[in-house]
Chain A
Amino acid sequence: MDEKDLELLRILEENSRLSAEELATLTSLSSCEVEKRVLALEAEQVIKGYSTVINWERVGNGEVSAIIELKVSPERNYGYDRIAERLSRFKQVKTLRLMTGTYDLQLLVTGKNMQDVSRFVSEHVAPMDRIRETATHIIMKSYKENGNTLFELKEPERLPISP
């Protein structure tokens, strides 16, 4: 991993749709070299995938997201890993993190509607062994996702020409 790899990662994190040619001109590498590096980063699982930031509110499909906090009794020898891995396998769980503080695991869960989310929590998450307590927080509105603000920012006004 060198400076050029880091540069490529920073560019791709912001926009993964650039072609190898575009990446090449930005970084002053050849497109062959870019492709080689990106393949290597994928192979090393540094690049885990390519996704799109979507403002679902605009789509208006009524999808609901919730942050779920779990208090969990850790297992001897495994800590939180096994239970976290089990939870991760549900496709409703978009993000899962182990936290410091008053609870242990934090899940970001999405569902078609409120019932969908609450059924998932009450039927799949809460009854699981070792889960002592759950708290569900429905997300009311999102202002920023993955570094992208979801509200309009006015373009800064600049003079059309200046010395």
Chain B
Amino acid sequence: MRNFVSRRAEEIPPSGIRKYFDLILTMEDVITLGVGEPDFRTPWNICESSIYSIEQGTTSYTSNKGLQSLREALSRDLEQRYSLRYSADSEMIITTGVSEGLDIALRAVTDPGDEVLIAQPSYVSYAPCVTLAGGSPVPVRCTEKDRFRLNPDLLAEKITSRSKALIINFPNNPTGGIMGKGDLKAIADLVIDHDLLLISDEVYAELTYEGRHCAAATVSDLWERTITLNGFSKAYAMTGWRVGYLCAPQKLLDAALKIHQYVMLCAPVMGQVGAVEALRSAEDEKNGMVSEYRLRRNMFVAGLNRIGLSCHMPEGAFYAFPSVKETGLSDVEFAERLLKEQHVAVVPGSVFGAGGEDHIRCAYAVSRKDLGTALTRMEAFLKTL
């Protein structure tokens, strides 16, 4: 029999966290700081309105672009929150999570041989999605020295005549780094000079702890060359609902919409109904969750530095990204031994690409009590080294 697996599928690496997943399942009393999602339940008003709509029989396809009411509410919300202007009718698609948004964005703009720059450390799916879209991923390193902002000089080094697009994600998974308006301006100059497209994944936008999030498309003249991706998962604790959105100028949007209509048709209607309610009535609950993350961040990062793991203060998302260099262990060794010896799960930074090595990602989307226990165990582990 032939090998039916495509070269493309062969080419993409398996997820670097799979082995930890299997290991954790064999253990008891693991405190996991390895989960990239909120620990809160979805606010009840959101659940309730979705349950009601199912009872009313709202179980059909929606238009390809998504519910009109959701797009209109989003259009208003984005303008009010970030001064970001997208038309509900022609510049917005509701996607099945940001994951789908990223995929269709990349497929809409990538030709074979195109290089797509990725600010790393980054979410694990960017590079494989570029490969699947037929492009070549080119990592650009963000360093701790720059507080994990994207440094224009390091970006400039990686730009070639084949560069087509740049993917950024701020606030960042896994570093918690953010980009302010000034930081984005410096990047915008390069993007515009080299005629690149910007794909900006802003799913952690609402989890910004000092000041307000700056949307990339509002900076300089980036709007006309930016695809903005965002979603409801992180801000409203709605990961399993799979609702995201892709916003772009109409020409780009129409290209992405063609792909979306063939591969996804539409995002699940129950999720879309819940998202409408999230925008309508969950502001306070969302703010409450953000305040809680801020408290945990303060407590956990102070704790990490106290026990001897140097960690910059993350300004967004819900990840701390301490360095383990001083311990003499690699990030992979550190994560494996910490899990086996003290039953605390973290994710080695190298999983997230360039710049991630020698760091571990700790998600503080767990209760304060568990964070306290995790710190105690990590301290005990460090003492054995």
Residues of A within 8 A of B (CB): 7, 10-11, 22, 25-28, 153, 156, 158-163
Contact = CB atoms under 8 A, between A and B. Distances in A.
A162 B41 contact: no
Interface of B: 15, 17, 20-21, 24-25, 30, 32, 34-37, 39, 41, 123-125, 173, 291, 295-296, 298-299, 302-303, 345, 347, 351, 368
Contacts of B39: 156, 158
B21 A28 contact: no
A27 B125 contact: no
Nearest to B33: A161
A77 B15 CA distance: 75
Contact of A26 (B30, B125, B295): B295
Contact of B291 (A7, A25, A160, A162): A7
Contact of A163 (B15, B30, B296, B303): B15
A158 B42 CA distance: 13
Given A160-B24, A161-B347, A11 B30 contact: no
B41 A11 contact: no
B30 A162 contact: no
Contact of A161 (B32, B295, B298): B32
Contacts of B302: 25, 28
Given A159-B21, A160-B25, 10 more contacts: A7-B291, A11-B295, A25-B298, A27-B298, A153-B41, A158-B37, A160-B24, A161-B17, A161-B21, A162-B36
Given A25-B303, A28-B302, A160 B295 contact: no
A19 to B, nearest CB: 12
B298 A28 contact: yes
22 contacts: A7-B291, A7-B295, A10-B291, A22-B299, A25-B299, A27-B295, A28-B298, A153-B41, A156-B39, A158-B37, A158-B39, A160-B25, A160-B30, A160-B32, A160-B35, A160-B345, A161-B34, A161-B347, A162-B17, A162-B36, A163-B15, A163-B125
A26 B298 CA distance: 5
Q: Which 7 A-B pairs have the closest CB atoms?
A: A161-B34, A160-B24, A26-B295, A163-B124, A25-B299, A28-B298, A162-B36
Contacts of B41: 153, 156
A162 B35 contact: yes
A161 B34 CA distance: 5
A163 B239 CA distance: 12
A140 B25 CA distance: 43
Nearest to B365: A158
Contacts of A161: 17, 20-21, 24, 32, 34-35, 345, 347
Contacts of B296: 26
Contacts of B291: 7, 10
Contact of A159 (B35, B295, B347, B368): B35
Contacts of B295: 7, 11, 26-27
A160 B18 CA distance: 11
A157 to B, nearest CB: 10
A18 to B, nearest CB: 9
A162 B37 contact: yes
Contacts of B34: 160-162
B371 to A, nearest CB: 10
Contacts of B37: 158, 162
- Of the candidates B15, B25, B41, B295, the one having the most CB atoms from chain A within 10 angstroms of its own CB is B295
Nearest to B302: A25
Contacts of B173: 163
Nearest to A10: B291
